[in-house]
Structure 1
Amino acid sequence: MSDGVEVRVDCHVKVLNDAVVERAKRVGLDAIVYAPHFTRLPEIRERAAAYSSADLLVIPAREVFTGSWRDRKHVVAIGLEEPIPDFIPLEVAMAEFDRQEAAVLVPHPEFATVSVTEPDLRTYAKTIDAVEIFNPKHFPSHNQRARELAETLSYPPFASSYAHLPSSVGVAYTVFETPIASEADFVDALEDGVTRRVVYDNGTKRLRTSVGELAHLCYENTWEKADRLFLSGIEPTHPDHIAYDGRFDDVAVY
């Protein structure tokens, strides 16, 4: 332990508003990692800065959807300086993370068709900094498999609420034994593999969270996805978006 310092971080939340901040403070978190879907890095950074305070650090991050809608592999990058789009091959995203020296988290490994696999974890061992071993959306078998992957491949663990709903924030989090007062501090903590432990509620409260989050997941993958695909036009994080200056046109998969 570093002089008895403990910093509680919910390592992945999808929503950010007054209710999220109030909830995070009430459950004793020191920081949350804000990585919403289909949102460009400048907007994430602006929103994170607006909600950060001396009582709660909001760390901006990008959850990049690599691959196509049918075979997505999600990875979370912290410390990016330049924007990276969704819908690019995993190897292209990993190369960009390396180039920008970002810290990389793997959420929900081997879950459904939206996750990094064991072969991916082996391939990108020099790029990935931690693997999620508890996610309240998972069934127990999914969390057990995630823990096995982290232990077998010697990855540092993390846990998160993966909150799409304010009430889920802090249901699971990671306690780091080092001071974390900025995004750069968090990147260093991840890349240095500092000592940490995961904390989560696995009782009835967790079950209520799982039900609510899974219901939201069903919505997200039916009506919301249809709206994005057919009604809303080009995604802000699509490789063809003007924000990326054509840099990823030749590798876009969707």
Structure 2
Amino acid sequence: MQREGYAVDMHVKVLDERVVERAKERGLDALVYAPHFTRLPEIRSRAAAFSDDELTVFPARELFTGAWQERRHVLAIGLDEPVPDFITLEGAMTELERQGAAVLVPHPGYLNVSMGLEDIERYRDIIDAVEIYNPKQLSYHWDRARAFAERTGHETFVSSYAHLRGTVGEVSVAFDEGLDDVTALTRALKTDAKRTLIHRDGPSHALRRALEWAHLGFENTWGKFDRLMLQGTEPTHPDHVAYDDRFDDVKVY
């Protein structure tokens, strides 16, 4: 697939040498790396380690806000300081606005883990873009996400939301201008820089989507049990010493 512009896969969960190789084969210029329950300094360190002259890895955080039963995911790019999971959506949005981060809505209206139309309208002035496609979603999720974005007037984006290496680069956003660093990406998102949304199609893409769906089933069964029952307190919990009790007034656990 030939892409024009500066091509970014806007949300991946995996990062290693094979991911970098895959991204380059797919013609990407950059990845946005936002793994689950990983603190910002570690994300930054890994992003730097896997960046080179051909591919830039931008660090980001997908925040898990609220309690498990009513959690809302928020993708934050351009953070200056760490922000924990398990704080209220309002508390997270207030902090992201304070830091001037780019605030993106991943997979809106998806299962019980996403911001809905009411949330997007409430934080209309803080949110910078709404995702309208990723391979884990079904067609009615895409339609609903587009309807949300049209209703609220937000800029849109797409991503591979890759939890598996092979999905990296299946989806990308091509910006008209190059992006030297995460500050430039943040600025592009906050100023609605011109972009083209791209995703692959056909049987191979359908297979990647099916494999990501299978992984979603694992993640929401054994993976969730492992996180909640076997691993103890998450490193991104607001009680972690790294957050210096700054979020005590908005934590939900």
Q: Deviations over 1:76-127 (max 9, x none)?
A: 1111111110011101000000110001111100000000110111111111
Structure 2 partner of 1:185: 184
Structure 2 partner of 1:17: 16
Alpha-carbon offset, residue 242 of structure 1: 1.3
Structure 2 partner of 1:65: 64
Q: Aligned partners of 1:170 and 1:28: how far apart in 2?
A: 8
Name whichever of 201-210 and 135-144 sits farther off. Answer: 201-210
SS in 2 for 1:61: strand
Amino acid at match of 2:189: L
Matched, 1:223 2:222: yes
Matched, 1:32 2:31: yes
Structure 2 partner of 1:122: 121
Amino acid at match of 2:141: H
Alpha-carbon offset, residue 58 of structure 1: 0.3
Q: Aligned partners of 1:147 and 1:79: how far apart in 2?
A: 25
Alpha-carbon offset, residue 227 of structure 1: 1.1
Alpha-carbon offset, residue 152 of structure 1: 2.1
SS in 2 for 1:122: helix
Amino acid at match of 1:156: E
For the aligned residue pairs, the C-alpha RMSD in angstroms reads: 1.0
Structure 2 partner of 1:213: 212
SS in 1 for 2:177: coil
Q: Aligned partners of 2:189 and 2:252: how far apart in 1?
A: 30
Structure 2 partner of 1:83: 82
Q: Aligned partners of 1:196 and 1:154: how far apart in 2?
A: 16
Alpha-carbon offset, residue 197 of structure 1: 1.4
Alpha-carbon offset, residue 149 of structure 1: 1.2
SS in 2 for 1:209: helix
Alpha-carbon offset, residue 250 of structure 1: 2.9
Amino acid at match of 2:88: P
Q: Aligned partners of 1:26 and 1:114: how far apart in 2?
A: 32
Name whichever of 208-217 and 162-171 sits farther off. Answer: 208-217
Structure 2: any 5+ residue segments left out of the alignment? Answer: none
Alpha-carbon offset, residue 251 of structure 1: 2.0
Structure 2 partner of 1:48: 47
Q: Aligned partners of 1:106 and 1:203: how far apart in 2?
A: 27
Alignment of 1:93-242 (within 5 A): 93-242=92-241
Identity of aligned residues (%): 55
Aligned length in residues: 250
Q: Describe the shift of the 1:147–1:202 C-alpha distance in structure 2 as closer, same or farther (beyond 3 A).
A: farther
Name whichever of 208-217 and 243-252 sits farther off. Answer: 243-252
Q: Aligned partners of 1:250 and 1:125: how far apart in 2?
A: 24
Alpha-carbon offset, residue 55 of structure 1: 0.4
TM norm structure 2: 0.96
- Structure 1 outlier segments of 4+, above 4 Å: none
Q: Aligned partners of 2:6 and 2:48: how far apart in 1?
A: 19
SS in 1 for 2:226: helix
SS in 2 for 1:180: coil
Amino acid at match of 1:222: T
Structure 1 partner of 2:6: 7
Amino acid at match of 2:84: P
Structure 2 partner of 1:243: 242
Q: Deviations over 1:143-182 (max 9, x none)?
A: 1111111122111111100000110001111111122111
SS in 1 for 2:172: strand
Alpha-carbon offset, residue 248 of structure 1: 1.5
Q: Aligned partners of 1:107 and 1:227: how far apart in 2?
A: 24
Alpha-carbon offset, residue 253 of structure 1: 1.1
Q: Deviations over 1:21-58 (max 9, x none)?
A: 00000000001100000000000000000001110010
